[in-house]
Structure formats: structure tokens, C-alpha cells
Amino acid sequence: MVCVPLVTRLLAGGLCLLAAGLLPAAAQEARIPALRPAVMAPLAVHSLILGAARAGDRLVAVGERGHILLSDDNGASWRQVAVPANAALTGVAFADDRQGWAVGHDAVILHTADAGETWQVQYAEPELEQPLMDVLFSADGRHGIAVGAYGLYLETADGGATWESRMISDSDFHFNAIVAPTPESRLIAGEAGTTLVSTDAGATWTPLAAPYDGSFFDALALGPQSFLVYGLQGNILRTDDAGQTWTAIDSGTTAGLMGGAVLADGSVVLVGAQGTVLTSKDGGRTFSGIQRPDRVGLADVIQAAGGQVILLGEAGPLTANP
């Protein structure tokens, strides 16, 4: 298993977290390698969690060793569910309140049709040694894109029954995040200042010239043409014209920023290494920050249906004040 420094969402100093062509569905299923299932662990709720998504009012969190946790009470309690792969899971997305996908190491892609209660392997290629980092699906649940290390880019037009690999960049820099501000637009952020945009739902991609050549670990869509990209050494860049121009935002920290969310009231929250939590009340134009006393590394943040803000990272899911 590859260990990609600073790309698989490093949370603290020194910690490394952990293509096939288009085939008929039956043939693709037959070639999925045998995978070990995730172990049901009593302490899974306190293990490393790398991403989360909402399935209606349910929270679905994914992390190390294939752990997937569900919460039906706005993050007050969590339970682990069985997963058919024990690879570290780095991202999760839902098209609606039932259909969801999780991705991670071994280029694994998991699918659920029941809001995360059960999961099936749609794709896996451990021999690639290229972890997938993020996944995005259209609202129809048919069109999806998964991105990862060394330019790994997989897409599906049939809900994941088949996945096709494609090169969308001349470089092999890591793709760490993909977001969609509108049904047709997409943004990918990654290593070495990588930013690419698509205005046709991923059919074609255009590289952007970001004024920073360090790694971006994540991105947020703030509007149809407004994005934040952020990552190494606390760097944050903002664009309001779909990447034609960028503005550097003072984060007040040198901690790596790993994940973020736009809350229901429009506030923007970014989280990262050493317990860093940044909050913006003006749409991501300025940030104020705190550092949690426990210094626990944070990988992502999500708001529950009840308004609670859940921080996700080295200590599992943690409830924070909105």
C-alpha cells in the first residue's frame, strides 16, 4: 500500500495516512480482487476518520482500516457497520439520501443503496498503489468522478456499474479534492498548485494558473464561480471568477488545512493539523482561528441536520460549537 506524504490528508507532523478501461459490469465485477473485510472494532468511533457526508439526516463517516460509522442523532452517538474492504477510506459522497459512494486506498470504490447500512465493492486495484482521495456524484446518481494520487481519475456514467480511467492532465500530480458548484461545473485541487476546471460536467478539463505551487488538500465551492482552495502551510486562495484570478487569504496559521464546510448560516469552517479550526463569517474572505487544547489533528468538518458541527480526525468524530 502506498503511503503518500501530505496527500492522504496528513494530520500531524510525521504522520502518513494512510486503470482499468471500460468493461461490461459483469466482467468488471469478476476482475475485482478478493479483499479483506474491515474488522468490527469496539474503538472504531475513536479511530482516525478522514471524511463524512450527509445521507438525508444521517451522518456517514469514513476512515482508517475501512471503518464506516453512522450517526442518526446528529453526531451524539455512532455505530460501525460492516464493510467488505479494510483499505483506509478517504472520501465519501451521496447523490441523495440513499445512494452513496466511498473511496480510498487500493483504488477502492464502495457503493451503498441504503444510506450506508450495507456496502458493496464496485472497483478496486490494489496493485496500482494509488489511493483515491475524493469522489463526486451528480444528483441523478449516474455520473460520478473519483480522483486520487498520481493523476488517478476514474469516471462512471452508470452509477458505478462500470468505471473508466482517463488522463486529464499532462502531469502526474496528486488530485486531492473535487467539488461541483453547479450541475455542469467542476473543480479539482491537488499537489503542486494543481487546479483544473470543467464547464461541461467533466467531459473536458482546463488547467488553471494558481499563484502558489504548494499542495492543496481540499477545496470548497462558495458559489457558481467562487471557490476556496487550501492546504499546505495554512495557505488559502480564493477566486470569484472561476479561477481566472486568485486572492491569497491570510489564515493566521502555518498548520496544514485538510478539510472544510460551508454551514447553513453561510459561515465557512476550515480544519487541519494540530487542532486548527478557522471560521469565516464573511463568506471566506477573512478567517479567525483557534487551536484546540488537545491539538488533535482534524481532517474534515460537517454540519449535522440539527445544526451541530462535527469535527473529524485522529480522535474520531467530535462535536463542536457551531
Domain ranges of the chain: 44-158
Q: Which amino acid is at 226?
A: S
What's residue 34's pLDDT? 84
CA–CA separation, 135 and 108 (whole Å): 11
Report, at the CATH architecture level, how domain 44-158 is classified. Answer: 7 Propeller (2.130)
CA–CA separation, 171 and 254 (whole Å): 27
CA–CA separation, 43 and 22 (whole Å): 39
What's residue 120's pLDDT? 98
Question: What are the tens digits of pLDDT across the range 143-162?
Answer: 999 999 999 999 999 999 99
User: For residue 28, what pLDDT band results from cuts at 50, 70 and 90?
Assistant: low
User: For residue 321, what pLDDT band results from cuts at 50, 70 and 90?
Assistant: low
Helix then strand then coil, in percent of the chain rounded to 5, is: 10, 40, 50
Instruction: Reply yes or no on whether the pLDDT at 101 is more than 90.
Output: yes
Question: What are the tens digits of pLDDT across the range 221-246?
Answer: 999 999 999 999 999 999 999 999 99
Read off the C-alpha cell for 249: 487569504
Ramachandran class of 94: left when φ > 0, alpha when ψ lies in -120 to 50, beta otherwise = beta
What's residue 13's pLDDT? 40
DSSP states along 76-140: S--EE---S--SPEEEEEESSSS-EEEEEGGGEEEEESSTTSS-EEEE--GGG---EEEEEE-TT
Task: Report the chain's mean pLDDT, rounded to a whole number.
Answer: 91
Which are the contacts of 26, defined by CB distance < 8 A and separation ≥ 6? none
Alpha-helical segments (H) within the chain = 25-31
What's residue 21's pLDDT? 32
Phi/psi of residue 321, nearest 5 degrees = -70, 140
What single-letter DSSP state applies at residue 39?
Answer: P
Read off the C-alpha cell for 101: 459512494
What's residue 66's pLDDT? 98
CA–CA separation, 268 and 263 (whole Å): 6
Instruction: Reply yes or no on whether the pLDDT at 257 is more than 90.
Output: yes
Identify any residues that bridge with 223 across adjacent strands, giving them in sequence order: none
277: closest CA among 285, 52, 268, 7? Answer: 268
What's residue 12's pLDDT? 41
Mean pLDDT in residue range 61-70? 98
CA–CA separation, 222 and 219 (whole Å): 10
At which residue does the C-alpha cell 502506498 appear?
2
What's residue 29's pLDDT? 56
Instruction: Reply yes or no on whether the pLDDT at 23 is more than 50.
Output: no
Instruction: Reply yes or no on whether the pLDDT at 55 is more than 60.
Output: yes
User: For residue 32, what pLDDT band results from cuts at 50, 70 and 90?
Assistant: confident
Contact criterion met (CB below 8 Å) for 308 and 78: no
Choice among 10-14, 85-89, 201-205, 240-244 with the minimum mean pLDDT:
10-14
Instruction: Reply yes or no on whether the pLDDT at 86 is more than 70.
Output: yes
What's residue 33's pLDDT? 82
CA–CA separation, 120 and 312 (whole Å): 24
